[in-house]
Structure 1
């Protein structure tokens, strides 16, 4: 069975290791979690801070911004191609004056 843990629980577990200096094995045993899971949490916490635990289906702010910018980039790239084709067409077929 897969358990889910709250953001607060994960942060407290990480702080017991990182700030209080307790050993991973001791913290994992006291909290009833796998030591490997605690390693993963602390690694993410060191990298992203409290933003490491955004919840399932959510994104960190930076990841959401990157996704938005990539989508916008693809749209602009497509528009640029359309404009290039239009410019080439009008260069070959100038409007009669």
Structure 2
């Protein structure tokens, strides 16, 4: 349930918006990652990107900190590697379950036949 009272609205400077847009335009960096690192909603950053395309926010001449850009690129690379490992892990779990099920079925039939003699 929402809190009673007026809603808090944050105002961001044009420089902050321009820097956020520039960071999101770096190759290999996702808008979602930039928004998360700046603690803003991805929709807000997308809206700022649209405003920059329309010329309402000027991004020319805005310096992007090299360390921040490198960190965002590294974060993107790590997320991709994590997703790959998670998929491999899920596949291995399925393979183990499949082989365990086959072993259980084959061992049941061999145990049943051992007790019978003709």
TM-score (norm 1): 0.48
With CA pairs under 8 Å and 6+ residues apart, which has the higher RCO, 1 or 2? 2
TM-score (norm 2): 0.40
Structure number with bigger Rg: 2
